[in-house]
Each structure stands twice: as structure tokens, then as C-alpha cells.
A and B are shown apart, each in its own frame.
Chain A
Amino acid sequence: MTERVSRRRRSAARLPVLLWLPAGLGLTLFLLPFAGLLARTPWRDLPVLLTSDIVTDALRLSLIASLSAAGISLLLGVPLAWLLARAEFPGRSLVRGIVTLPLVLPPVVGGAALLFAFGRRGLVGEPLYEATGLLLPFSTWGVVVATTFVAMPFLVITVEGALRNLDRRYEGAAATLGAGRWTVMRRVTLPMIAPSLVAGTVLTWARALGEFGATITFAGNLQGRTQTLPLAVFVALESDRDAAVAISLVMVVVSLLVLIALRDRWWRPL
């Protein structure tokens, strides 16, 4: 017992005092907005506000869009990361640049670019519409495409890094034991990068949940069809402050719950 106490005291003492001030300031920057949000929360009206159509529609859409984005990113992003990490082909750095572009690009620009590609007069949108009658903009599918576009780079980057850091001799060892390429991937590579897969998926999901710019540009702001939680907050700020605060609170709680639940088990490697 005494040993533990003394060890804790020693490790605390080792941190330079100078670090405490900026660290505290940084933390305050994170904490104050939440405090403001909580202070402004209309607790009594909360049940009514949270069960209104606008909120439940937006919550449903947000969950659908962010989970779909995370799922699609896993399906497409892992093979993409694999290619970037393992395959030698000309223009690989260009491909990597394009894949990570949505991280840097303002989401509004991304949304506009999507519109030029998939809009009714767009590069792909026009033939697609004429062939199938499917129109992405201003549809729930559009929301999914926009959020995936913005969020998938997080998964690709995380998984590519994990694949590069993986000691490939384990895969060689598996091969000498009789495992073909598919078995090696399924039973050795993927399980060994599992922590990064989970971390990448969570990051992707989190980014998708908060997506605003690309969605509103590409898919518009239609309640029940394309209006996700961030869009609902944006609209409510103009019309109904209390509703805006309530929706914001929902987002804070949902995000915090997921991050805390995953933190100890999976986040460490990040």
C-alpha cells in the first residue's frame, strides 16, 4: 500500500510543473463548451424535445448514415489499405494522396465535387439516372455516399499503417505451416491488426456521425430523408434554441458512450 502511494507520488513529481499550465488550459478549452451546453439545457422540456419528429428522424438518419459509412469503409477501405501497403504499382503515392484528400479538403468542396460527379447532370450521375432512375443527391443514399467519402480516409490510413508495421515474418511462418494466402489473411494478418481495424472503424464512424458540410451540399437538408443530427442542430439554432441544445446533448452523450466503452479495450494502440 505504502509502496503504491509512494510510487504514485514519485511519478507525479517527475512531470515538470511547467506542463501543468498549458495542459490545464487545453483541457479547459475542451470542457467549457460542454459546460455551456449543460448550463443551457432545458432539463424539464427535454423528454418532449427529444421525442419530437425532427429529433427522432435525425437520430435515425444519423445512425443509419454513420453505421453504413463505417461498414462500407470496412468493406472497401481495408482492401484499399492493403493495396497501398503491400502492392507495388506506379502512381502509388498519387493514389495515397487522392485517398487522403478528403481529410484536408473542406467538406463543402467535397460535397460540391460529389454533386458534379453524381448530380443529375453529373459525370456519372446523368448516365446512372438515365439507366436506373436512381438519383443520389437529396436522397438518403446521397447522405451515405457523402459521409463515406469524408470518413473512409481515417480507416484507410489507420489500417495501412498497421499493415506496414506488422512483422511480415508471421505471415511467412503461417505459409510454412500450409496456409494459403487467403488463410494467412483471415487467420493471421487480420487478427493481428484487429486493434487498428477497430480503432480505424471507430474513428471513421465518429467522423461520419459529425459530418455536416459534404452532406448538406450534396444531399441537402430534408427532414426524414437527408437531415442528420448535425444538420438538425444547424437548422434548430435558427428557429428553436432549446431543440438545438437538446440534439447537441444527444450527440455528446452518444459519442462519449461509444468512445469510453471502446477506449480501454481497443484504443490504446492509437
Chain B
Amino acid sequence: MSTAGLEADFAVRRSERFTLRIRLSVLPGRTVALLGPNGAGKSTVVEAIAGLLPVDAGRIELAGVLLDCPERGVFVPPERRRVGVVFQDLLLFPHLAVIENIAFGPRSRGVGRRAALVRARQWIERLDLGGLEHRRPPELSGGQAQRVALARALAADPLLLLLDEPLAALDITMRTRLRRTLAQHLQQFEGPRLLITHDPTEAFLLADEICIIEAGEITQNGTVEDILLRPRTPYAADLAGCNLLAGNASRGEVAVGTHVLHIADTGIEGPVLLTIRPNAVSVHRTPPEGSPRNCWETTLERLEPLGSRVRLLTGPPLPLAVEVTREATDELGLHQGSRVWVAVKATEIGVQPDDAAARNARKREDQPSL
């Protein structure tokens, strides 16, 4: 039963009405995402596994060692757990330079000052932080600070890497860019990795397996494909219903087939994947006021009732799944074949670099011409 990975099956009572019950396991070399809306209890999971909050029942086991089990009177304090955490607000020590932040872990585990600095320097190199050794955390950009936090966690030689909303503190543009580098940097760590996030794009891109947590319980877990193809709760269905579009980005515009969409990130170039949530699309009978930049006329090809909501499928130029309330379809008198205007805000379009497409394109260019 015991593996080199993380085995957690525990309950934490947070209040009269809210008890968190979690069961998950992460194998070494795998990334599991704990994906859920705000208030689902994700931070409590981080605190419990890191040892900052004792569980009330159940057990947490890492690399075959029991860390927390109230039934057997076991509680290993955080400083002896070897769980590396990248915190949501990073929590870099403001009074220490970058290199001292990274050397903090080794130093605390009894490595001499000089040896700890040597080890910190290795991580500085691995995570491209050269030249920033003596900066203080407030002098770092969001992306740099995030890499320092990762380096600090990894330099302590953890058995498990916990990432708590690692990109949440960054703005949209940075987030898309860092998602990709984070995916690469995560490969630096061979143990089990647990990613806590409320951002489906982050989970889909970084994780091998996804656990969906809602109101303190895991409601579904499986591979990305499982979740997308067989959602079991409204929340999962909402995630799964995301429109996924492939296109080519240039200066804030993305060509998707013959159609052009405007996105908020004006810096990204080349092949991209776009995600548009069905409830982020608005439907109108006449051209909407305020002229949103992404707005076009189309035909409704299908209407599917989903309880109190209705899912609409639009036709060319850009087929999209759209979700509106039943009142809205009645009010607008929508039927199959209706001509409608649809609009999407640029900020509602999720953008991520399409690495697979970019790699293929590069391979073609690299081919020697005969």
C-alpha cells in the first residue's frame, strides 16, 4: 500500500457546518491538480498536508512515512515533513536576499552556511535566476519572485511539492507566459506534485490527473480526458463545456480559421489555444450596444435544455457552445435557425501557447531543404 508518493485520506472540521473530507494519492513524477471554486477548502488541504493544521481524522502518508494520524496519535510537525510549498502569495522572506531565501531550507536542515549557498546557487542556475542573487524580494518581478519561491521550496530537498495557486498573484499576460515555464520547471522535481488551483486552464495544462473539489469533498477525479468527456457534476460540466479553439496570435488578435478574435494579451505570438466559457458569451437579437470588439452575426444551429439553462450551439463563422438562462431564450424568442448576434469580452478569452503546434512548426522549419 505504501509508495514513494503521497497518500492522503483525512477530514478536517473547519466549522459547525463545514468539514473537509479528502482522499487523494499522488505518485512520484506525477502532477495531480486539486481543482475547485473558491471556498471549496483547497487552502485547508495545503495546510493539512504541510503540517500547519492537524487533521481531525484519517491519515496522511508520504514516502511510506505516516505524517498525521490522530487515531494513532501521530503528528509530524511541518519542519520534519519535507513538504515543499509554493504559497499563493509566495511568502518570500522580505528581509533576506534571493540567495538567502533559497538557502534557507538547507540551512534550517543543518547544512553549513557555505554548503547551503552552494546548493542555492545550483537552483539559481537551474531556474534561470542568475544575476538576481542579491536582490530583495520586493525588487523582483512577479515571474522572478515565483521562480525564487519554487527554487526555495525545491532547495529544501522535499519529498512532495505543493503548489498553492502558484500563478494567482500574477496578471493575465504574465500568467499565460509563466504557465509554460512552470510546466518545464516542474520537471525539475521527481517526486509527487500536488497543484491547488481554481483555474481550469492551469489544471488542464500542468496536471496528469485532476481531482475536482467542491464544498469540502472531491466530487470527481480522473485524467483531463475523463473530466472533459464525462463530467459528473455541474461544476465539472461547466469546466468541460469550455470552448477550445486553436489559432494563431499576433498583436492581440488571433486568427481562428477565417475569423479574427481580439484577446487581452497583446504580447503573445504564434500558435495558441483559446478557451471560452459558455456563460461568458452573450446573445442578442440586434447588434449589441457599446460595440464589444468580439461581436458577430451567426445562426443558432441547436438548442439543448440543461435544467434552468439552455445550451446553444452557434454556426459559422465560429462554432461556439453558449449557455444562457431559459428566461433569456424565451425573452429573445430563440429557435433553431434564429439569426443572432453573439459577443465575447476580450478579457473572458483564456489564452495559452499551443506548444505542440509550435514544436511541429519548428520541426518543419528545421528540416533541411533538399
Interface on A for B, CB 8 Å cutoff?
A: 167, 169-170, 172-180, 183, 187-188, 191-192, 194
Across-interface contacts of B152 in A (CB, < 8 A): 177
Q: Are A169 and B91 in contact, CB atoms less than 8 angstroms apart?
A: yes
Q: Which residue of A lies closest to B105 (CB)?
A: A177
Binds A, one of B75-83, B235-243, B268-276: B75-83
Partner of B156, one of A169, A170, A177: A177
Q: Besides A169-B91, A173-B93, A178-B156, 14 other CB < 8 A contacts?
A: A167-B91, A173-B87, A176-B52, A176-B78, A176-B85, A177-B104, A177-B108, A179-B79, A187-B104, A187-B108, A188-B93, A192-B93, A192-B95, A194-B95
Residues in B neighbouring A179, C-beta threshold 8 A: 79, 104, 108
Q: Which of A170, A176, A188, A192 contacts B81 (CB 8 A)?
A: A176
Render B147-191 as a binary contact track against A, CB cut-off 8 A, 1 for contact.
000001100100000000000000000000000000000000000
- Name the CB-closest residue of B to A193: B95
CA distance A174 to B108 in the complex (A): 9
Per a CB cutoff under 8 Å, which of A180, A188, A191 touches B79?
A180
B227 nearest CB across to chain A (Å):
29
CA distance A175 to B51 in the complex (A): 9
- Taking a contact as CB atoms under 8 Å apart, the answer to whether A176 and B83 are in contact is yes
Q: Is B109 an interface residue (CB 8 A)?
A: yes
Measured between beta carbons, the chain B residues less than 8 angstroms from A175 are: 51-52, 77-79
Could you tell me which residues of chain B, from 66 to 93, have a CB within 8 Å of some CB in chain A?
A: 77-85, 87, 89, 91, 93
What's the least CB distance linking B128 to chain A, in Å? 21
Q: What per-residue 1/0 map shows which CB atoms of B126-144 lie under 8 Å from chain A?
A: 0000000000000000000
Nearest-neighbour CB distance to chain B for A170, whole angstroms, equals: 6
**From A170, A172, A187, contact of B50 by CB (8 A):** A172
Which A residues are CB-close (under 8 A) to B317? none
List chain B residues, Cβ under 8 A from A170.
Answer: 91, 93
Q: How large is the interface on B (under 10, 10 to 19, 20 to 34, 35 or more residues)?
A: 20 to 34
Per-position binary interface string of chain B over residues 84-120, scored 1 when its CB falls under 8 Å from any chain A CB and 0 otherwise: 1101010101111000000011011100000000000
Chain A hits for B77, CB < 8 A: 175
User: How far apart sit A33 and B95, CA to CA, in the bound complex (Å)?
Assistant: 41
* Cα distance, A180 to B107, chains bound together (Å): 11
A192 to B77, CA, bound (A): 23
In the bound assembly, the distance between CA atoms of A169 and B91 in angstroms comes to 7
> When the two chains form their complex, are residues A183 and B87 in contact, meaning their CB atoms are under 8 A apart?
no
Q: How far is the CA of A172 from the CA of B47 in the complex (A)?
A: 9
Question: Complex formed: what's the CA distance from A172 to B79 in Å?
Answer: 9
In contact, A173 and B108 (Cβ under 8 angstroms): no
Shortest C-beta distance, B301 to chain A (Å), equals 51
Point out residues on B near A: beta carbons under 8 Å: 47, 50-52, 77-85, 87, 89, 91, 93-96, 104-105, 107-109, 152-153, 156
Bound Cα distance A169, B43 (Å): 12
Residue numbers in A under 8 Å from B52 (CB-CB): 172, 175-176
Contacts A188-B93, A194-B95: A176 and B104 contacting too (C-beta < 8 A)?
A: no
A176 touches B94 (CB 8 A): no
Contact of A176 among B51, B93, B95, B107 (CB under 8 A): B51
CA distance A192 to B93 in the complex (A): 8
Q: Which residues of the other chain, B, contact A167 by a CB distance below 8 angstroms?
A: 91
- Least CB distance from A101 to B in Å reads 34
Which residues in B have their C-beta under 8 angstroms from that of A188? 93
Give the residues in chain A near B85, CB-CB below 8 Å.
Answer: 173, 176
Give the nearest-CB partner of A192 in chain B: B95
Most buried by B among A169, A170, A177, A180: A177
Are B50 and A178 neighbours in the complex by a CB distance under 8 Å?
no
Nearest 8 CB-CB pairs, A to B?
A179-B108, A175-B78, A178-B108, A177-B105, A173-B91, A178-B109, A191-B95, A172-B52
CA distance A172 to B107 in the complex (A): 16
Q: For B47, what are the chain A residues with a Cβ–Cβ distance below 8 Å?
A: 172
Residues of chain B with a CB closer than 8 A to A187's CB: 104, 107-108
Contact of A192 among B82, B94, B108, B109 (CB under 8 A): B94
* A and B contact pairs by CB, cutoff 8 A, 27 listed: A169-B91, A172-B47, A172-B91, A173-B85, A173-B93, A174-B104, A175-B51, A175-B52, A175-B77, A176-B50, A176-B83, A176-B153, A176-B156, A177-B79, A177-B108, A177-B153, A177-B156, A178-B80, A178-B108, A179-B104, A179-B108, A180-B79, A188-B93, A191-B93, A191-B95, A192-B93, A192-B94
Min CB distance B276 to A, Å, is 35
Q: How far is the CA of A269 from the CA of B51 in the complex (A)?
A: 33
Residue of B nearest to A170 (CB): B91
Q: Which residue of B lies closest to A181 (CB)?
A: B79
Residues of A near B79 (CB, < 8 A) are 175-180
B85 to chain A minimum Cβ distance, whole angstroms, is 5
In the complex, the chain B residue whose C-beta lies closest to that of A191 is B95
CB distance from B316 to the nearest CB of A (A): 51
Bound form: Cα–Cα A188–B91 in Å? 11
